[in-house]
Amino acid sequence: MKSAISSSSNTSRNTFAKWVSIGLICASSLGLAAAQKGPLTIGSKIDTEGALLCQMTKLLLEGNFFTIKDRCSTGTTPIVRKALLEGEIDLYPEYTGNVVYFFPEAKVSVEIAKNPAKIYATAKSLDTKNKIVWLKPAPANNTWAIAIPIKLSQSENLKSFTDLGKYLKAGKVFKLAASQEFADRDDALKGFEKAYGFTLTPEQLLILPGGNTTQTETAAAQGTSGVNAAMAYGTDGTISALGLVVLNDPKGGVAVYQPAMTVRQAVNSKYPELAKLINPVFATLTKEVLSELNGKIAIGGENASKVAGDYLRVKGFLK
């Protein structure tokens, strides 16, 4: 009797162990499948905010079982945009106002360019032919800007581009540190020049490689090579820290630039959860938030990945 009971008990234990083993294998397989989403290649522009948004999205997706290839800081706008269109990268953070630059043939009106909702809708619509999807933009407006030292602003009463136009016509000293892209684009420096009736000469420009506004703003703050003005972005964290102030743009010389993730349509269709993951994060990125986070990188010297990860955890997007 004891032998029969023992045999029955052993059989039960063996059966139980078998099912546990099968369960563990299934769970392991499910976990492996979840971890194998992708791989997706993410890129960005080479400025501070580009690196921040790229790392933020990378960490968010990795925390949700995506395998991500990091190509953050891919290059300037033309380079990273081309990489997306040609499938070298799958997604990157872009700005709604760049629709004016990307589609000159569309002749986007000033009314649309200055309206956040309209410029976003226009970007979404025009990029369908390129099979590019625009996710929802952040509320921050990281538009092109020019910053000058507070001392210069106060001594010359330079508060706006209208004031700058008068200042330049009077023949006073002005030298702008900027990227080649800012100088060349119709919706950047040329947009300001057209709206306010001035034209900078080559001697009034110091062209710095890339598009990192920390460099241009530092040059203006330190007076490098006679520079007293800098290409800037609306959400830069270095402006006030370096003793600079942004000139107001009352005529709307340039468009609204809200950051939004752009994704190849094929990738977005395959992973519809991308919008559900990314949109809530971008919805929290106000001008004040981005300025603070950018400042931690540009002024505080923190790593973009660390700043991004800390923010996601504090907001509850990552554990």
Same domain? For 237 and 274 the reply is no
For residue 303, give its domain range: 35-141+257-314
Task: Quickly tell me which residue has 């309206």 as its tokens.
Answer: 115
Which band of pLDDT confidence, cut at 50, 70 and 90, is reported for residue 35? Answer: low
Does 20 fall in a domain? no
Average pLDDT over residues 250-269: 95
Identify the pLDDT of residue 186. Answer: 85
Identify the pLDDT of residue 14. Answer: 52
Q: What is the pTM of this model?
A: 0.79
Total domains present in the chain = 2
In tens, the pLDDT along 202-230 reads: 999 999 987 789 999 999 999 999 999 99
Same domain? For 112 and 161 the reply is no
Domain end call among 246, 266, 294 = 246
| Kind and range of the H or E run holding 266 | helix 265-270
Here the CATH number for the domain that contains residue 96 is 3.40.190.10
- Whole-number Å distance between alpha carbons of 178 and 258: 21
Mean pLDDT over each residue of the chain, to the nearest integer? 90
Q: Token pair for residue 86?
A: 């040609």
Same domain? For 51 and 101 the reply is yes
Which band of pLDDT confidence, cut at 50, 70 and 90, is reported for residue 7? Answer: very low
Identify the pLDDT of residue 212. Answer: 87
- Nearest CA to 236 out of 181, 300, 292 is that of 292
Same domain? For 75 and 154 the reply is no
Identify the pLDDT of residue 26. Answer: 46
Q: Is the pLDDT of residue 236 over 80?
A: yes
- Nearest CA to 149 out of 174, 132, 126 is that of 174
Helix axes 287-298, 304-314, angle to 10 degrees: 140
Q: Is the pLDDT of residue 17 over 70?
A: no
- Nearest CA to 132 out of 274, 41, 38, 268 is that of 268
- Nearest CA to 97 out of 186, 16, 158 is that of 186
Three-state SS across 174-223?
CCEEECHHHHHCCCCHHHHHHHHCCCCCHHHEEECCCCCHHHHHHHHHHC
Compute the C-alpha angle 288/185/261, nearest 5°. 45
**DSSP of 50-109:** HHHHHHHHHHHHHTTTEEEEEEEEEESHHHHHHHHHTTS-SEEEEEGGGHHHH-GGG---
Which band of pLDDT confidence, cut at 50, 70 and 90, is reported for residue 192? Answer: very high
Q: Is the pLDDT of residue 66 over 80?
A: yes
Same domain? For 136 and 272 the reply is yes
Which band of pLDDT confidence, cut at 50, 70 and 90, is reported for residue 240? Answer: confident
- Nearest CA to 258 out of 73, 93, 58 is that of 93
